[in-house]
Amino acid sequence: MSLTPLLPGALNDRGQSMTLGVMGGGQLGRMFVQAAQAMGYVTVVLDADPASPAGLIAHHHIRTGYEDPQGLAELAQRCDAITTEFENVPAAALRTLAAQRPVAPSADCVAVAQDRIAEKAHFSQCAAISGVHPAPNATIETAGQLAAVADNLLPGILKTARLGYDGKGQIRVKTRAELAAAWEQLGRVACVLEKMLPLQSECSVLVARGADGQVAVFPVQNNTHHDGILAITEVHEGAVPVDLAARAQASTVAIANHLGYVGVLCVEYFVVDNGRGGSDLVVNEMAPRPHNSGHYTQNACDVSQFEAQVRALAGLPLPTPRAHSPALMVNLLGDLWFQPNGVRAEASEQPVSPPWAQVLALPGTNLHLYGKLSARPGRKMGHLNITGATLAKVRGTAAQVLTLLGLPALD
């Protein structure tokens, strides 16, 4: 990428306002577009869905698929730099764009994140620097590799090497017979078997890295998942033990640097029982984009993850983000629209809006809905950030919010 900054409000060599493009029109693209527009950039979204959340608010919406030659040519013609909001955008499409315009993250970085086999190999290489390893694992692409799996990797989790997210493409197995059946169920595609570890908690780290190697590290996020989908993120002093938090941040910087990454990167970690009365850190997976667990930055930090994405793409300075208050993020799934008055019941025939007026009457609540036209169970519809002067106030408000929405209480 060029190190010449694309300055907000400036004109490009075509006499037009600096324009940033994004591949993908989902909620992450929408929030990138909002951050870019707030800084004065023109925005372009490429997404085939005419009602995509990002496309609805961008200056230009190119309604084509990710591999459409005409759409890619138009995106390159309109933009001064291009990013992605979705890790499964074809790497080949990013390479096509990169032949004409700066693209961040690069196709090579995205390709690593798209393949668990390559991702595990990269993590193992970085462990020599950071000391943070992935879980013991084995690649299964052939019947021979299946037969050669070591006994000590069971029980484990069999995961497809590609296209898995939010718990999809994953099967827990206890025996060799269950492992063989699971591989058949997944269509005998390339997979990774990961040893199940004594999990204590999960956390994640966001970094933003510029083309000049400058790195900005966000606070460590403590995450709670329900059914494989992020439910709650808490960020405050002590959310993750200080020593583990420092190791997680150092590991994430090492992973970004080793890739020569440009953009916002999120790396997820497991905190596990080390068998000696303490805890250890295991690197799980990475996302080459902003992340659900980083949404709290919109209201709790002086630079959000989306502004950091804009800065990295445009070649602007990346100051270390400052968290100015404790924060808690609640992920809002479409199930809430089928729980009238926040009471769990049989799914209604028609969705009903959750009790936002009652929720927003509580201090420190900040609602972010994604502009999706219809709610469905399991669909990510928005998130709620809760901030306050003290952790006790944040968790007290969160407890009321979760009760109003009929969601599980905090641990």
Q: Give bridge partners of residue 209 from the DSSP assignment.
A: 215, 263
Residue pointed to by tokens 């029982």: 273
Q: Coil, helix or strand for 367? A: strand
ω before 317 within 30° of 0 (cis)? no
H or E stretch at 384: strand 380-387
Annotated binding site: 116, 159, 164-170, 194-197, 202, 225, 284-285
Burial tier of 201 (Cβ tally within 10 Å: 0-12, 13-18, 19+): middle
295 neighbors 383 (Cβ within 8 angstroms):
yes
What secondary structure does DSSP assign to 316-329, as a single string?
---PPP-B-S-EEE
121 neighbors 96 (Cβ within 8 angstroms):
no
Give dist(CA 217, CA 145) in Å, integer: 39
Q: In this structure, what is the dihedral angle of CA atoms 118, 121, 125, 127, given to the nearest 10 degrees? A: 120
108 neighbors 91 (Cβ within 8 angstroms):
yes
Give dist(CA 122, CA 340) in Å, integer: 46
382 neighbors 295 (Cβ within 8 angstroms):
no
Q: Which amino acid is at 204?
A: S
Annotated binding site for ATP: 116, 159, 164-170, 194-197, 202, 225, 284-285
What secondary structure does DSSP assign to 216-227, as a single string?
EEPPPEEEEEET
User: Which pair of tokens denotes residue 98?
Assistant: 């990169």
Torsion sign (Cα): 181, 187, 189, 195: negative
Beta strands of 29-78 (E only): which ranges?
42-46, 60-62
Closest CA to 100 of 124, 125, 113, 81: 81
Work out the number of other CB atoms within 10 angstroms of the CB of residue 220.
Answer: 24
Helices H / strands E in the chain, number of each? 12, 18
112 neighbors 122 (Cβ within 8 angstroms):
yes
